[in-house]
Structure formats: C-alpha cells, structure tokens
Amino acid sequence: MQSIRMRFTRTELAGAIGDLGTLLPLSVGMIAVNGLDAMGLFVGVGLFYLIAGHYYGTPIAVQPMKTIGAYAVATGATATVVHAAGIWMAILLLLIAWFDGAKRLQRIVPKEVIRGVQVSTGLLLALQGVRFIAGISPLQAKLSEPWLGMGSLAGIPWSLVLGVISLFLLLGLIDSKRFPGALVTIVCGIIFGLIFGEHSISFSPSLPALLPHGLPGLSDFIIALPAMVLPQLPMTIGNAVFANADLANKYYPEGAARNTPRALCTSMGLACLGGALLGGMPMCHGAGGLAAHYRFGARTGASNLMIGGIFLMLPLLAGQGMFDVVRIIPVAVLGTMLLFAGIELCLAMRDMETRGHLFTIFLMVACTLTFNLTVAFLCGILVAWLMERGVISV
C-alpha cells in the first residue's frame, strides 16, 4: 500500500485549519445551548484528528454530525440526549462496518448520486457561508458578530465588513505557498478578535472528565433514535462514507487505499462513542470538510496531525476556558472559508456529462433545499435506478 510522505509546511497548516468554518459554529452552539463539555468536546476532536491522520495517511475531516447537532441546538435537547444519539450512531456504524454493510450499500449507490450528495452538501455550506458574511444566520440574530459583541459600523454589519476583507485576502493569497490564504485570514481574524472582542480568556490546565454528564437514561435513547439518529444515518452513509471515500480517491489517488467505506464507518463509530464518553458530540468525516482541507492546501496526513495537536493541547491548557478561546475568531471569517469550501465541493461534479446524470444531481439539489439531504439521497437512488432500467428518461 502506497502512503503519502508527511509534510509539515505552512501550506499544510493552512489546509489543516481550512474546515474551521464548519467545525466551530455548531460546536460552540452545542456547548452553549445543550451544555456539552467544552474541554471534552475539543479533546475528542483533537484525538479524532490525530488518530485519523495517522491511520489514513491523507487529510481527512472531523466534523459534528450536522443533523444531530442542528436538531439539538434548535430544540435545546439535554447533553445526555446528544450523548445517547452518539452512542446510537456508534452502534449502528460499527455494525455496518462489522458486517461490511457499506460495501453492499455501495453497489446500489451510483456515482451520480454520490456527486449529488457532494453538490448538495457544497451548496449548503456555501449558502451558510454567505449567511455568516451577511450577518443573517440564526447565530447572528442579535449581533452580526455575536462572539465579539459587535453589531454594525456606520449602519453596515461588522460581519459584512470583515467578510469582504476576508474574501479579498483569500482570493489574493489562495495559491500562495509563502503566505497561505487560509492561514493569513485566520491569523488576522484572531488578532482582530483579541483586540476588539469583549470576552476575556482564562487558562486553567486540567484533564477532561469521563462521562461528565453521567450515563444517558432510557428516555434519552428513546428520544434520540427517531428525532436525531434515523435522519442522520442516511446522510452519514451518503456524505461521510460514500462521497468522502470517492473524494479522497479523487484528491489523493496515490495514498487513499485505506479510505474505504468500511474503515470510515469504523473510525466514525469509535469517534461517536469516544465523544459521548468525554461529554462531547457525535463526529463524522464529512466530504465538505475534506474539500475544505484540500482547497486550502492540505495534501498529506500532516495537516491532521497539526490541527489535531492544536485541538488537543488548547483545551488541556485552557480547561473550560476553551469555550472562550474558540470564540475569538469572527463568524464572518469562518463564513468566507465555508463559502470557498462549499464551492470546491460542488466542483466535484465536473466529471458528470450525460443529461441523465446531471438531471439526478440537480434533482437532489432541489430536494435538499426543499426538504433535507436524507430525502435527496433516497430520491437520487430511486431516480438513478429507474433510469438505469429504462423506466424513465430525460
């Protein structure tokens, strides 16, 4: 098996931080609304990045499971319900891996459906990025830069001002190896947050606790299964397993031999279990995150080791103050990175040329925007199956 030699460079570091736009907003929301343990959550993220980077040898994303996270934040679910959802996902993903169910499912998921998942996910990321820049996301209901306590400058939302500046920085330095765009943009955002942010940062070194919220009860598991787990599982299989494995082999054909559906199910299952034990969140390997890492310069597993080391060390040094540490970065800066990552993921469809394939992809996009990615995934499989058998044509 070929492996890609690790390169610890500025470009790799820029790629390493390329997915913060997806990771941080939902993580911070789940800490603030659902009471997840800040230190345990980010220690879990760091460990998952490190272990995944070492095993796969190529860049691979670590993200919150979005359906679970979004539902939890929207409904104010308790931390134990979130942990129950994570344990459910761990059990299901490990069972799929054990019985090699992903390989069987892969036979009925054609490439145009995988591309549809990638384009739909990319569009959702890009739209969320634009909302962050415009200051119109639910997170920014009161202030355009809620983490910094800033509203507007002469009637113009601060997020729009910072977003436009960030866009120019990223566009101007996107291909620079000396001053990588993502790295420069994040550093400038941190400096701005330190100077103008309203919250103080305290460091109290400590270790994460095991099961800080206790074991989930039976009622937690009953609530989590229909509301969070069943909607999340098809999205995870479509996006974090099939779409991710396909994208890894497209980006890193010489080193992605381990990025198999079975391995991805196993690592995500273990991460979900570990996240629950540490008081954190269910985690996955989203294809959008991989596109973000790649777009901003990640080419080897070193990017995972660098971002994993950062996320492991910071919470151990800051303790529960980690919640304030991650809120230094302006939301608009994260929005610009989300926008670029989303567009990069959408471009995965460039190898689709037939009318039928393109019809399936855009039908899935429409279903995603109208309903959700789970419905789109199922509709895409059905339409592709009917087209293959000549029942319908376009």
State the residue for tokens 């104010």.
Answer: 76
pLDDT over 80 at 2, yes or no: no
Q: What is the mean pLDDT of residues 309-338?
A: 90
pLDDT at position 119 over 60: yes
For residue 212, the tally of other CB atoms under 10 A from its CB is 17
Mean pLDDT (whole number) for 138-159: 92
Say how many residues make up the chain.
394
Q: What is the reported pLDDT for 3?
A: 62
Q: Is residue 180 scored above 70 in pLDDT?
A: yes
Q: What CA–CA distance (Å, rounded) separates 18 from 377?
A: 26
Rounded Cα distance between 61 and 133, Å, is 23
Report how far residue 359's alpha carbon sits from residue 288's, in angstroms, rounded to the nearest whole number.
Answer: 22
**What's the Cα-to-Cα distance from 212 to each of 37, 80, 307, 361, rounded to whole Å?**
7, 10, 25, 43
Q: Is the pLDDT of residue 80 over 90?
A: yes
Q: For the segment 216-259, what is each residue's pLDDT rounded down to a tens digit? A: 999 999 999 988 998 889 889 989 999 999 999 999 988 888 99
**Does the pLDDT of residue 332 top 90, yes or no?**
yes
Asked if residue 288 lies in contact with residue 333, where contact means CB atoms within 8 angstroms, the answer is no
57 conformational bin, left if phi > 0, alpha if psi -120 to 50, beta if neither: left
Average pLDDT of the segment spanning 45-57? 95
Report the half-sphere exposure of 26 (CA within 13 A, side-chain side): 25
Tell me the mean pLDDT in the region 316-334.
89
pLDDT band for position 334 (50/70/90)?
very high
Query: Average pLDDT, stretch 275-284?
Result: 96
